[in-house]
A and B are shown apart, each in its own frame.
Chain A
């Protein structure tokens, strides 16, 4: 599905469908919210969005399927089919909202947790699992979906996004680039350098920070003394904090930031305020560093539940829709499960493939030696 047809404009207050409900009191006064945790549409003076029932159902479907895929991957890790999994549980709205704001010609630089954005870009979910199963380090062609490879070292990709965006500007294209990163990565020097480069070259890039409150075991207080979105001010571009569990707000704010980039107005920092509901990865144990009551508080702000409440209340979706989606989720999970189990181990000689584009004498020599060594066992054992 696509929601590209309803471009966000600023300001726009004409909607009758916008609820009169006041924005709830919040400790974070700058948080942009369009859909409250209770599923109420909220008005915001600067960001609004008009979506059809079909588009709303589409966003809901994206989030549900992404969560189902993510749960399946976690299960596959527990079953020993994957070596590791980095769950996005709780961050579906931030990823689907921002992902659906993109045009096909825009370019995405993800971290290793952007499974929902990958879904929006049309990357086959099974492609994401190869690296977690250990059969490759990514391996998809970024140019097919304009979705770069997962970057594991945090923050590095913000510079790649900035360089790519500098290239977009040189080409005179009106595409935009989006770089995903987290609250932990915000402390990296590369992120600071990406802010500097993008600002001085006015590069068409959106920095989309999912502040999920935790960098493995370290809370955001260990990364910053100011709200992260305020960092942008020091670099000379706008920063916005958005409710990261509100798919509508994430869509509207990202779309606005992307449009700024297209118009040649330079970078924007979007801080999507959200929560990592699960562990950092399947190897992590959050019980050692955080309390269950914190998680419970965020559960009440669940991104999927609030949109479901809204859909039901407004009569935008019926039981048949939810039942069909449930079935589609199970089908997706089954397909993913089967695909992972069928993934063969690579040939040992693949170690030597693609080290260089133009070849390298030493790699050729070592490949030949290792092949001969392997062959020396032929006919033994079995």
Chain B
């Protein structure tokens, strides 16, 4: 296949196909992942090609999906479980936090649980309640889990490959409103480490750090700012546990300013953790307090209000202005 332009969703599909072909222990399980190919068609055609034994339509019970995935992993399988929407993960939260995250430590390292939990997350698709949330901090807070989120098709392909190969449980957050964004995917490339950040655009005046769906917004913000003579560096964090703090530090030591952007509520969000640690690491380099742009401390609003709720170009640029104003 080599290099080709693919929508992010298709890159995930190709990645799953590749994993199923390479490792007979890889299984896909979830609600509607079989004949339908998932509500977002991420698993489209996989059951047809790999059979019902490997691409498994499950009962509508999220705790059951993750609980049985754990059992299958104990038997030597590598399950990739799909949670249909972000807001549906909570029935499985107990199994993820209490069992999946802790069994390796509980067994003093004897048990490994190579389980990937794929979760389409974030807003911007005009959905009803529970279909637009960004719960990544709730998982990053839990020791034993790794949490990643790709922002583009190439990362979607490669980070999913790496997540499936990981012997640790990985919560894989997919930016659902970017599913149809195309990007080049080179399936013969050599990917960088899974948990490293990437500089998307270099700059000298301020660092914008984001992940998943907000990387695109930040890149647009940087382009707009450049027209006004402000050179903004954009960092795609890619991984939220662990976080590549060295990369953030290196950027902030250069620019002296940091604005963190995510859809999730600002309060106790991943931005808070990064702000605290970067303030500690870069205290004498900072020209302004670390600022955060994100969701409000309110339930995700009805679709007619989500444009106001989601941090868009203007709110990001407003934060850039405030930071540069110090």
Chain A residues within 8 Å of B, Cβ to Cβ: 136-143, 148-149, 151, 153, 156, 158-168, 170-171, 189-190, 193-194, 196-197, 200, 353-358, 360-363
CB distance from B105 to the nearest CB of A (A): 5
What 0/1 readout, one digit per residue, does chain B (102-123) give for beta carbons within 8 Å of chain A? 1111111111100000000000
Bound form: Cα–Cα A189–B172 in Å: 25
Residues in B75-124 with C-beta less than 8 Å from chain A = 75-77, 91, 94-95, 98-99, 102-112
Pair B98/A196 contact, Cβ less than 8 Å: no
Complex CA distance for A165 and B75, rounded to whole angstroms: 8
Q: How far is the CB of B110 from chain A (nearest CB, A)?
A: 4
* Distance A167 CA – B59 CA, assembled complex (angstroms): 17
Q: Are B144 and A166 in contact (CB under 8 A)?
A: no
Which residue on B lies nearest to A360, using beta carbons? B242
**Is B241 an interface position by the 8 A CB rule?**
yes
Residue count of chain B within 8 Å CB distance of chain A: 46
Structural contact, A156 and B167, CB atoms closer than 8 A: no
**Do the beta carbons of A197 and B167 come within 8 Å of each other?**
no
Does B71 have its Cβ within 8 Å of any Cβ on chain A?
yes
Question: Out of A148, A200, A358, A362, which one reaches B168, CB within 8 Å?
Answer: A358
A155 to B10, CA, bound (A): 38
Q: Are A139 and B104 in contact (CB under 8 A)?
A: no
Q: Mark B162-179, 1 if CB is under 8 A from A, else 0.
A: 000011100000000000
Q: Does B127 contact A (CB under 8 A)?
A: no
The answer to whether A142 touches B74, judged by C-beta atoms less than 8 angstroms apart, is yes
CB <8 Å contact, A163 and B72:
yes
Contact B75 A171 (CB under 8 A): yes
B71 touches A164 (CB 8 A): yes
Contact A196 B67 (CB under 8 A): no
Contact of A160 with B70 in the complex, beta carbons under 8 Å: yes
B72 touches A166 (CB 8 A): yes
Q: Determine which of B69, B168, B243 lies in contact with A356 in the assembled complex, contact meaning CB atoms within 8 Å.
A: B168
**Nearest Cβ on chain A to B76's Cβ, whole angstroms:** 7
Q: Is B262 an interface residue (CB 8 A)?
A: no
Partner of B75, one of A141, A149, A153, A164: A164
A149-B103, A159-B67, A197-B64 known; A164+B72 contact, CB < 8 A: yes
Q: How far is the CA of A147 from the CA of B73 in the complex (A)?
A: 15
Given the contacts A153-B98, A163-B70, A164-B74, A196 and B59 also touching, CB distance less than 8 Å: yes
Residues of B within 8 A of A358 (CB): 166-168
**A–B Cβ pairs within 8 angstroms, 24 of them:** A137-B106, A141-B107, A142-B74, A149-B103, A156-B99, A159-B64, A160-B67, A161-B71, A162-B64, A162-B68, A163-B70, A163-B73, A166-B72, A170-B77, A193-B59, A194-B64, A196-B64, A197-B61, A354-B105, A354-B107, A356-B168, A358-B167, A361-B243, A363-B143
The answer to whether B63 and A142 touch across the interface, beta carbons within 8 angstroms, is no
In angstroms, Cα B58 to Cα A149, docked, is 26
Shortest CB distance A4–B (Å) = 23
Q: Is there contact, CB below 8 Å, between B106 and A138?
A: yes
In the complex, what residue of chain B is closest to A131 when comparing beta carbons? B106
By a CB distance below 8 angstroms, the chain B residues around A141 are 107, 110
Residue B238 CB within 8 A of the other chain? no
Contact A353 B71 (CB under 8 A): no
Residue contact A189 to B63, C-beta cutoff 8 Å: yes
Q: Cβ of A361: which chain B residues have Cβ within 8 Å of it? A: 195, 242-245
In whole Å, how far is A295's beta carbon from the nearest beta carbon of chain B? 33
Report which of B67, B72, B195 forms a contact with A156, defined as CB distance below 8 A. B67
Give Cα A136 to B311, complex, Å: 45
Q: How far is the CA of A143 from the CA of B144 in the complex (A)?
A: 21
A-B pairs, 4 with minimum CB distance = A163-B71, A159-B67, A167-B75, A163-B68
Q: How far is the CB of B40 from chain A (nearest CB, A)?
A: 24
**How far is B74's CA from A142's CA once the two chains are assembled, in angstroms?**
9
| Given A153-B98, A356-B168: A159 touches B107 (CB 8 Å cut-off) | no
With beta carbons under 8 angstroms apart, the residue of A165, A196, A353 that contacts B108 is A353
Smallest beta-carbon distance B286→chain A, Å: 21
Q: Does B53 contact A (CB under 8 A)?
A: yes
- Decide: A139 and B59 in contact? CB cutoff 8 A: no
Residues of A within 8 A of B98 (CB): 153, 156
A131 to B107, alpha carbons, bound, how many Å?
11
Closest Cβ of chain B to A166, distance in Å, is 6
From known contacts A156-B99, A196-B61, infer whether A354 and B71 are also in contact, taking CB-CB under 8 Å.
no
Instruction: Verify B143–A355 contact, CB threshold 8 A.
Output: yes
In the assembled complex, B292 has its CB within 8 A of some CB on chain A: no
Residue B131 interfacial (CB < 8 Å): no
Contacting residues, chain A, for B68 (C-beta < 8 A): 159-160, 162-163, 166, 197
Chain B residues in 8 Å Cβ range of A162 = 64, 67-68, 71
- Residues of chain B lying within 8 A (CB to CB) of residue A163: 67-75
Across the interface, do A190 and B64 meet the contact criterion of CB distance under 8 Å? yes
Within 8 A of A (CB), among B36-66: 53, 58-59, 61, 63-64, 66
Q: Give min CB distance, B88 to chain A, whole Å.
A: 14
Assess whether A160 is in contact with B104, with CB atoms less than 8 Å apart: no
Considering the chains assembled together, what is the distance between the CA atoms of A158 and B103 in angstroms? 15
A140, A189, A193, A353 interface centre (most CB from chain B within 10 Å):
A193
Say yes or no: A355 contacts B144, CB within 8 Å. Answer: yes
B113 CB, min distance to chain A CBs, angstroms: 8
Chain B residue at smallest Cβ distance from A152:
B98
User: What's the least CB distance linking B79 to chain A, in Å?
Assistant: 8
Bound-state CA distance A334–B102 (Å) is: 33
| Structural contact, B111 and A149, CB atoms closer than 8 A | yes
Within the assembled complex, what's the spacing in Å between the Cα atoms of A358 and B146? 10
Distance from B100 Cβ to chain A, minimum over Cβ atoms (Å): 10
